[in-house]
Chains A and B, each alone.
Chain A
Amino acid sequence: MALFPITSNFEGDFVLQLVAVDTENTMDEVAAAAAHHSVGRRVRARPGQILRVRRQGAAEFFPRTMKLGEAGLKPTETVEIIWEAPKH
Chain B
Amino acid sequence: MAVLNRMDWYDLARTTNWSPTYVTEDELFPPLMSGAFGLPQDAWEKYDEPYKQTYPEYVKVQRDKDAGAYSVKAALERSRIFENADPGWKSVMKAHYGAIARGEYAAASAEARMMRFSKAPGMRNMSTLGCLDEIRHGQMQLYFPHEHVAKDRQMDWAFKAYDTNEWGMIAARHFFDDIMMTRDAISVSIMLTFSFETGFTNMQFLGLAADAAEAGDHTFANLISSIQTDESRHAQIGGPALKVLIENGQKAEAQKRVDIAVWGAWKLFSVLTGPIMDYYTPLEHRKQSFKEFMEEWIVAQFERALTDMGLDLPWYWDIFLKDIAETHHGMHMGSYFWRPTVWWNPAAGVSPDERAWLEEKYPGWNDTWGQCWDVIIDNVVDGNMAMAYPETLPYVCNMCQLPILGTPGKQWNVKDYPLEYNGRLYHFGSEVDRWCFQQEPERYAGHMSIVDRFLAGMIQPMDLGGALAYMNLAPGECGDDAHNYAWAEVYRAMRTAKKAG
Q: Is the CB of A74 within 8 A of B369?
A: no
Take A18-B451, A74-B425, A78-B418 as given contacts and tell me if A12 and B409 are in contact as well, using a CB distance cutoff of 8 Å: yes
* Closest residue on chain B to residue A18 by CB atoms: B393
Residues of chain A in range 1-50 having any CB-CB distance to chain B below 8 Å: 5, 7, 9, 11-20, 36-37, 40-44
Q: State whether the Cβ of A86 lies closer than 8 Å to any Cβ in chain B.
A: no
Pick the most buried of A15, A43, A44, A77: most chain B CB atoms within 10 A of its CB: A15
Question: What 0/1 readout, one digit per residue, does chain B (321-346) give for beta carbons within 8 Å of chain A?
Answer: 00000000010011001000000000
Residues of chain A in range 42-66 having any CB-CB distance to chain B below 8 Å: 42-44, 56
Q: Which residues of B contact A17 (CB under 8 A)?
A: 390, 392-395
Q: Which residues of A contact B388 (CB under 8 A)?
A: 41
* Closest residue on chain B to residue A33 by CB atoms: B392
* Closest residue on chain A to residue B403 by CB atoms: A15
Q: Which residues of B contact A7 (CB under 8 A)?
A: 395, 416, 427
Q: Which residues of A contact B372 (CB under 8 A)?
A: 12-14, 42-43
Q: State whether the Cβ of A75 lies closer than 8 Å to any Cβ in chain B.
A: yes
Take A44-B374, A76-B425 as given contacts and tell me if A15 and B330 are in contact as well, using a CB distance cutoff of 8 Å: yes
Take A9-B414, A78-B418 as given contacts and tell me if A14 and B330 are in contact as well, using a CB distance cutoff of 8 Å: yes
A49 to chain B, nearest CB (A): 15
Question: What 0/1 readout, one digit per residue, does chain B (300-334) give for beta carbons within 8 Å of chain A?
Answer: 00000000000000000000000000000010011
Question: What 0/1 readout, one digit per residue, does chain B (253-271) give for beta carbons within 8 Å of chain A?
Answer: 0000000000000000000
Take A12-B412, A14-B333 as given contacts and tell me if A77 and B392 are in contact as well, using a CB distance cutoff of 8 Å: no
Q: State whether the Cβ of B415 lies closer than 8 Å to any Cβ in chain A.
A: yes
Q: State whether the Cβ of B31 lies closer than 8 Å to any Cβ in chain A.
A: no
Q: Which residues of B contact A37 (CB under 8 A)?
A: 390-392
With A and B bound together, what is the CA distance between A11 and B414 in angstroms?
8
Take A5-B455, A7-B395 as given contacts and tell me if A16 and B416 are in contact as well, using a CB distance cutoff of 8 Å: yes
With A and B bound together, what is the CA distance between A50 and B418 in angstroms?
27
Q: Which residues of A contact B289 (CB under 8 A)?
A: none
Q: Is the CB of B406 within 8 A of A14?
A: yes
Q: Is the CB of B387 within 8 A of A77?
A: no
Q: Which residues of A contact B405 (CB under 8 A)?
A: 14-16
Q: Is the CB of B427 within 8 A of A41?
A: no
Q: Is the CB of B418 within 8 A of A42?
A: no
Q: Is the CB of A11 within 8 A of B412?
A: yes
> Which of B379, B394, B454 has a CB less than 8 Å from the CB of A16?
B394
A51 to chain B, nearest CB (A): 14
Q: Is the CB of B414 within 8 A of A77?
A: no
Pick the most buried of A16, A40, A78: most chain B CB atoms within 10 A of its CB: A16
Q: State whether the Cβ of B32 lies closer than 8 Å to any Cβ in chain A.
A: no
Q: Is the CB of B395 within 8 A of A18?
A: yes
Q: Is the CB of A40 within 8 A of B387?
A: yes
Q: Is the CB of B404 within 8 A of A15?
A: yes
Given A9-B416, A76-B451, 7 other A-B residues pairs in contact with their CB atoms under 8 A: A12-B409, A20-B392, A41-B379, A41-B387, A78-B416, A78-B418, A78-B427
Residues of B participating in the A interface, judged by any CB pair closer than 8 Å: 330, 333-334, 337, 369, 371-372, 374-376, 379, 387-388, 390-395, 403-409, 412, 414-416, 418, 425, 427, 451, 454-455
Residues of A participating in the B interface, judged by any CB pair closer than 8 Å: 5, 7, 9, 11-20, 36-37, 40-44, 56, 74-78
Q: Which 10 A-B pairs have the closest CB atoms?
A: A14-B408, A16-B395, A42-B372, A78-B416, A15-B405, A16-B404, A18-B393, A15-B394, A7-B395, A14-B330
